Structure 1
Amino acid sequence: MYHELIDVLIVEDENVLAQLYAELINKHPRLRLAGMASSLAEARVLLNRTSSRLILLDNFLPDGKGITLISDPLIIRANCSVIFITAASDMDTCSQAIRNGAFDYILKPVSWKRLNQSLARFVQFTEQQQTWKIVDQHNVDSLYQLQAKNYRKDNSSKGIEESTLARVQKLFEHQATRCFSVDEVMNETGLSKTTTRRYLEHCVEIGFLTVECKYGKIGHPRRIYRRVHVTA
């Protein structure tokens, strides 16, 4: 199963920052840089020319404030989400961004780990929207939680060990087209069920795996994991 790349537009007038954002996007297996704009006017042109699904948006731009772009009909028609990245720490700007549906709000100076986590959450959010054609309350809660997720500082604070993570990821790399349930990964790796589930969900969070819910005739839906593949 192949997944289309998610096009990302960068709107930032500080060239060094814009290049760093671009590098982060280019390293992600599910994201693709759609363009870079240094003003609101350039951003609107690129929104018309591209099929961007996400914007990394600065607030203080040469021709106005980025916050005004969030409620622009152009973004709404394009079904484009926004990660707002700004030095604006006033509550009015933050509240306006939240009211207008910003996926995330990140303050400068930017934490690169924080931004990378936000991008991973957006990928997961997009995957789940495509997978769930009909939702129940659990699905809805999961989508909302992706936008309100608490962050941990690093892998170790989540109980993620690099050697164990590599063991789980190696299983999917060697059988890239196969889908695995929690029990199947548990049997293959020898990990406990709780540990297996934790590592699988971490892999989904960082964009290494995607997850689907399989519904049987009875009982709860099973979560099925597969390696993320991208089109060229």
Structure 2
Amino acid sequence: MQPALIDVAIVEDENELAALHAELIQKHPRLRLVGIASSLAQAQTLLNDKQPQLVLLDNYLPDGKGITMLSNPLLSRANCSVIFITAASDMDTCSQAIRNGAFDYILKPVSWKRLSQSLERFVQFHDQQREWKIVDQQNVDSLYQLQAKNYRQDNGSKGIEEKTLTLVQALFQERGDYCFSVDEVVSETGLSKTTARRYLEHCVESGFLQVEMLYGKIGHPRRLYKRA
């Protein structure tokens, strides 16, 4: 018997970032995306209608701060967990998120690998909660370890092919300090958007690239990549 899917909602007003999160969720065999909200008001409706088990929650939204949702009764009634994703690096916000039971706290610019690890840990956490009706100390310790797991530093090279990596890196070596969008990398290399994003995030993880956010007068900031 196949395990049940875990419903996930995204609350994020940056369209490109919301699309990246949605892509990760849709690629995971145990996760099901039930909706995307770009404001607190939309999030309230989404939570009420879909009752997800997990929310990826941004903090800075057009009509308020996402941190206020952590005390929303809708979350507790639906037994819904939160992965808090924010540019807020102040200790007060971080402490408030921890006190209100956020499963994880991820700082922007978001690491593709870091979010993937968090989603995988949540799936394990969710499954173990359902499996164990009565717990002993070892079970409790295991649950807490999933929520506060130390991240191993590795080269993140799984699924990375040397030829494609060289192609992507050569583009940045040739153009010096130029900042590339994902779409420009796709156009220059001929890679699919999904593949381009994966290799760009790998290059960020390895220290070859860095992320810059371009804030225009209209619309949401764009995620750009340049040589570190």
Please name the residue that 1:14 is paired with. 14
Structure 1 stretches of 4+ moved >6 Å: none
Please name the residue that 2:98 is paired with. 98
Give ranges in structure 1 of 5+ residues lacking alignment. Answer: 163-232
Deviations 1:151-188 (A, max 9, x none): 1133779xx9x9xxxxxxxxxxxxxxxxxxxxxxxxxx
Q: Secondary structure at the match of 1:94?
A: helix
User: Offset of 1:51 from its aligned partner?
Assistant: 2.6
Deviations 1:69-105 (A, max 9, x none): 0111111111100000000000000000000000000
Query: Is the aligned partner of 1:57 residue 2:57?
Result: yes
Distance 1:51 1:30 in 2: 17
Please name the residue that 2:43 is paired with. 43
Distance 2:66 2:28 in 1: 25
Please name the residue that 2:81 is paired with. 81
Query: Is the aligned partner of 1:107 residue 2:136?
Result: no
Please name the residue that 1:124 is paired with. 124
Deviations 1:121-145 (A, max 9, x none): 0000001011111111000000011
The root-mean-square deviation of aligned C-alpha atoms, in Å, is 1.8
**Which amino acid is the alignment partner of residue 83 of structure 1?**
I
- The percentage of counterpart residues that share the same residue type is 77
**Which amino acid is the alignment partner of residue 68 of structure 1?**
T
Distance 1:156 1:50 in 2: 34
Distance 1:85 1:67 in 2: 10
Distance 1:152 1:25 in 2: 22
The alignment of Structure 1 onto Structure 2 pairs a total of residues equal to: 160
Deviations 1:165-214 (A, max 9, x none): xxxxxxxxxxxxxxxxxxxxxxxxxxxxxxxxxxxxxxxxxxxxxxxxxx
Higher relative contact order, structure no. (Cα contacts within 8 Å, ≥ 6 residues apart): 1
Please name the residue that 2:181 is paired with. none
**Which amino acid is the alignment partner of residue 85 of structure 2?**
I
With the length of structure 1 as denominator, give the TM-score of the two structures: 0.66
With the length of structure 2 as denominator, give the TM-score of the two structures: 0.67
